[in-house]
Amino acid sequence: MHNFKEKHLLSLIIWIGLVLIAAFTLPNISQLVRDKGSVRLPATVQSEVAQKIQKKSEGGKNVRTLIAVFNNKNGKITADQSLQIGNAVREIRSDPSLHTTSVTSAGDNAAAKKQLVSNDGTTEMVMITVPSKYKVKGQTNDLLNKIKSPGMRTYVTGSDVLNEDFSATTEKGLQKTEIIAAIFIFLVLIIVFRSFLIPVISLLTVGVSYLISLSIVMNLAQRYGFPISNFTQVFLVVVLFGIGTDYNILLYDRFKEQIKNGQTAVAAARTARRHAGRTILYSGSSVLIGFSALALAKFSFYRSGVAVAVGVAVLLLVLLTLNMFFMATLGKKLFWPSKNLAAHDKSVVWHFLSKFTISHTFVMVGILVIAAIPLLFFGSQKLNFNNADELPNNVQSKAGYNIIQAHYPAGTSGPSTLYIENKKPLNTQQYLAEIDQLTGYLNSEPGVKSVASVTRPGGTKIDQLYLKSQLKTLTDGLDQANYGIKKVQKGLASANKKLSSSNTTESIAQVQQLADGASKLQSGAQQLSNSLSTYTSGVNSLASGFQQLNQGATSLSSGVGQLSSGSQSLNSGIQQLRSRTARLRALRSRVNRLASGLQPTIFWFGTASFASNPIFKWLESPS
């Protein structure tokens, strides 16, 4: 029992049990990082508020947009290839297993074609919106199978696909980091202690702390929302293996010194923990407090650094307990095959450097400054927050991204979206005008290629929606109407003159037709006036007014035709009028009275009805 306690066998048993529990309870790290490892911002940040507005606009559904890319590397997309793209789009829309919310392709309309087909005609995109509740990897693979087309390169990309591949690439990079770190630490420890057991035991103790801390962090993230990110594992590996190796060197070096002074393995282990352990505990505590302070950050990526604090706490416990078992049990054998325990106590190189630095301080500072000067000119790098740049080009999402970058304006694969929310409906003339004005302002900003909005769906102005174009159309129509009215007035005046000068007594029926035509002309003019007064109601009312104007013109044409027919009837009745000389004066008197009543009607139509219209007053006003 005494030997069990002195050899710290209880510590070994406890840590073996904890390792087994950690291994069996460790969740699926890859899926957990994908689900909960994305960077989350505070709810008050504009991008988060915009996402809430987007979700509301989609009926409360969370969606993602994937981009299907079709590219012909040999030239422009041919007609047959366009048919293949169209067939692929129809299959995507008709496949219920894809759960597509919307699909936008170049074949939908001219505006979509302008946006989705590259200027050189070699590339075409299809925008596909799908629910985000399904795994992006499965959605990507399903779409890749749908869009495969002979003679074309096809890809599926988008921000979510790129992030998914970035996570997968990070995991592969993490595996390489672990291997490189283990090899490097192994070599360093061999050089320092000239032993094969020291590196193995050091990596073992640090590895135990890494596995247990990783299991704790991931279980906390799965059950209680503990902050994690794509780099949580990387941080744990780098920090734990880095400081863990450093702390082990301090501990083993003090243990070696006590063994060299003649102490037993048990006593040397206790002395090493009492002296070197204090240094390790103080240093580790400062690291622990520093990473724990990251919990106060609002940015989720920074708060994920708290996982390192958990790892450091576990590491300190492992190093100060499990190492005691190996030191007390193995003793001098810990440093096998080296037998000279003082072999590394004095280093000729470090002794020379330290002595030279102390005696020539300014010279060493000058050497360091000169060595740092090149870094000022060649060591600067531009900040880049684009995860896509971190992916290798052979990843299919990165290849599709590169195709878009090469054939479309910058930002096409990931455009910035401006959301506008208002308590009142925005589909009114006032708000649409303000949105259009904002669109023009953004489009004029440096670095902005194009801006699409509800008033400019294709990124360019629609002239028919602007007042200048509408007024020009109205003015042209009014000019034509005035020209037609003047011709009608001239014709009516000529007909009236003929009636007044003719020797007829039996033309009452023809004159009645003339009056009916004038009545229809007056009705058409009234309709024209009413149509013009409703112009301010919008483009639709304008179209209705032009239709009424056309109806009035038709009535005018009918009246003129009737006038012509009446004139011909008058010529044929002249002979009959001459045979009835007894009634000539009476009939002429009636015709003159009727003509005198018709003339004011013609004058009112030609002047008063237009002059009283406020639109014509506004058009004639010099202001």
d(CA 518, CA 539): 31
Mean pLDDT of 68-80: 92
For 171-199, the pLDDT digits (tens) are 788 778 888 888 888 888 888 777 888 88
> Is the pLDDT higher at 269 or at 543?
269
Residue 1 confidence class, pLDDT cut points 50, 70, 90: low
pLDDT of residue 605: 34
> In whole angstroms, what is the distance from residue 165 CA to residue 567 CA?
88
Decide the pairing of beta strands 123-131 and 102-104. Answer: antiparallel
User: Band of the pLDDT at 291, cuts 50, 70, 90?
Assistant: very high
Q: What is the pTM of this model?
A: 0.61
Reduced to 3 states (helix: H, G, I; strand: E, B; else coil), residue 62 is coil
**Stronger pLDDT, 52 or 65, i.e. the higher one:** 65
The structure tokens 């041919």 sit at 78
The CA distance from 508 to 583, in Å, is: 13
Alpha carbon distance 284, 250 (integer Å): 13
Own/partner contacts of 259-268, CB < 8 Å, gap of 24 or more, are: 259/331, 259/332, 259/341, 260/341, 260/342, 264/331, 265/327, 265/328, 265/329, 265/330, 265/331, 265/332, 266/6, 266/7, 266/328, 268/327, 268/331
Can you give the pLDDT at residue 597?
Answer: 45
DSSP 65-90: EEEEEEE-TTSSPPHHHHHHHHHHHH
pLDDT digits (tens, 9 = 90+) for 592-602: 554 444 333 33
Task: Determine contact, residues 243/274, Cβ cutoff 8 Å.
Answer: no
CB 384 within 8 A of CB 158: no
The DSSP annotation for 112-133 comes to HHHHHB-TTSSEEEEEEEEETT
For domain 46-164, give the fold: Alpha-Beta Plaits (3.30.70)
Q: Is residue 209 within 8 Å of 314, Cβ to Cβ?
A: yes
Query: Using 50, 70 and 90 to split pLDDT, how confident is the model at 617?
Result: very low
Q: Which two tokens stand for residue 515?
A: 């009056």
- Assess if CATH 1.20.1640.10 describes domain 2-37+194-345: yes
d(CA 415, CA 448): 11
**Model confidence at 500: pLDDT above 70:** no
What pLDDT digit, counting tens, does each position of 24-37 carry? 999 888 888 877 87
- The residue-averaged pLDDT of 59-65 equals 77
Residue 581: pLDDT over 50: no
Query: What is the per-residue burial (b if ≥16 Cβ within 10 Å, else e) of 350-363?
Result: eeeeeeeeeeeeee
- The confidence score (pLDDT) of residue 171 equals 79
Domain segments of the chain: what residues?
A: 2-37+194-345, 46-164, 468-620
pLDDT > 80? residue 589: no
What integer best gives the mean pLDDT of the chain? 77
Q: Per-residue confidence at 311, pLDDT binned at 50, 70, 90?
A: very high
